[in-house]
A = this chain, B = another copy of it.
Amino acid sequence: MIPFEVLATDPGSNARRGSMLTAHGRVETPVFMDVGTRACVTHCSPDDLERVGTQVVLGNTYHLMIRPGIEAFRALGGLHKFMRWSGPILTDSGGFQIFSLPGSRTINEKGARFKSYTDGRYHQLSPELSIEVQTAIGSDIMMVLDECVNSTSPREVVHAAMERTHRWALRSLAARTNPAQALFAIVQGGVVPELRRESADFLTQHEFDGFAIGGLAVGDKRSQREDTTAFAAELLPRDRPRYLMGVGTPPDLLNAMLAGVDMFDCIIPTALANQGTAFTSTGRVRVTRLPSYLDESPLDAACSCYVCKTYSRAYIHHLFKAYEPIAPRLLALHNLHYYHSLMAESRAAIERGVFAAFAKERLEQIDRHEHAAQRLHVA
């Protein structure tokens, strides 16, 4: 079992401050993990990641088995060496991609059969093969292959996918060969409390290193997502890390930390950077729509990142207008720094026992900025 210790709990909420020891180093939780789907966190080299405060990089089994492929990882010695990242790596199993990516695919009890987007050839992905690929990748935390369905599907559909996810989880556990690579199970059950409870009850009887809350990134409303997260987190053992997959915005993270979640990943910081949006202490800034292109101030006067210490809004605005490829890169560095700072401040607030108040204040602040932006938009 992966060493995981709860160092402090928040008296006003279910938030926890933890520490997890992987084969490639320690992870302080709650943690936001940077999405590096195709062996690269978009726009960032490993030294950039160190600079923004990244602890864990998340790779994706589906994408990495298509390119560069399992043989490449075997020949080249795994993903750490391939991308020159010496810190912890978590790999998603590919279940979500098989569910969400376009193209022909069929799923049965054995696994999934899907068409590669690179060469049109058909690939199989089974629970066993997903573990085999993740083993070759050398990830520190592997995920079981799950069957994802839209959470608004009929209950029978959600129920059947949950039960298959359970059977696949046990097959994944049996397929693991290297005990130094942790393996997390994924709780499914859509937005139906009884199914979530059934899923958690089943999976927590087995020797998984941690537990993820899956299936909450698509098809459900924000309030349902928050309710389900809070409910699902409470069903999970206190002595194991809890991971909310694919979530989310800063308010999503704050709410989930209040519910006791320890780990997160999301493409939002880099995806919004590509669109020209920066997270700041005074709300989101659409760089290309700055009211003045002569603004000499940094993106965020309260931010200590390299980008804010170096460049003016005027210059970043110009870089976007001129389609310079460094423009989204600078916003990606800033946004990732914003996320990691939010997590570091949250960890400190839990340690001080004041996280409930901290989260409330930050949530209200973000809410005020969003309302102000909406008024501006309407006016």
Interface residues of A, Cβ cutoff 8 Å to B: 38-40, 42-46, 67-68, 71-72, 75-76, 82-84, 118, 293-294, 296, 310-312, 314-315, 318-319, 321-322, 324-326, 328-330
Contacts and interface: CB of A to CB of B under 8 A. Distances in A.
Given A38-B322, A40-B319, A83-B315, A68 B293 contact: yes
A322 B83 CA distance: 13
**Number of copies of this kind of chain in the complex:** 2
Given A39-B318, A39-B322, A67-B318, A84 B311 contact: yes
B40 A310 contact: no
A71 B72 CA distance: 54
Contacts of A315: 39, 82-84
Contact of A76 (B82, B83, B294, B326): B294
Contact of A293 (B72, B296, B328): B72
Contacts of A83: 315
A191 B350 CA distance: 75
A43 B325 contact: yes
A335 to B, nearest CB: 15
A34 to B, nearest CB: 13
Contacts of A321: 67, 118
B84 A294 contact: no
Given A84-B310, A84-B315, A38 B324 contact: yes
Which 7 residue pairs spanning A and B have beta carbons closest together?
A: A38-B322, A40-B324, A75-B294, A68-B318, A82-B315, A84-B310, A325-B325
A84 to B, nearest CB: 6
A72 B314 CA distance: 9
Contacts of A326: 40, 42-45
A105 to B, nearest CB: 21
A69 to B, nearest CB: 9
A40 to B, nearest CB: 5
Given A39-B315, A45-B330, A82-B312, 4 more contacts: A38-B322, A38-B324, A67-B318, A84-B310
B312 A76 contact: yes
Contacts of A310: 45-46, 84
B42 A324 contact: yes
Nearest to A68: B318
A60 to B, nearest CB: 11
A322 B43 contact: no
Nearest to A84: B310
A46 B307 CA distance: 12
Contacts of A76: 294, 296, 312, 314
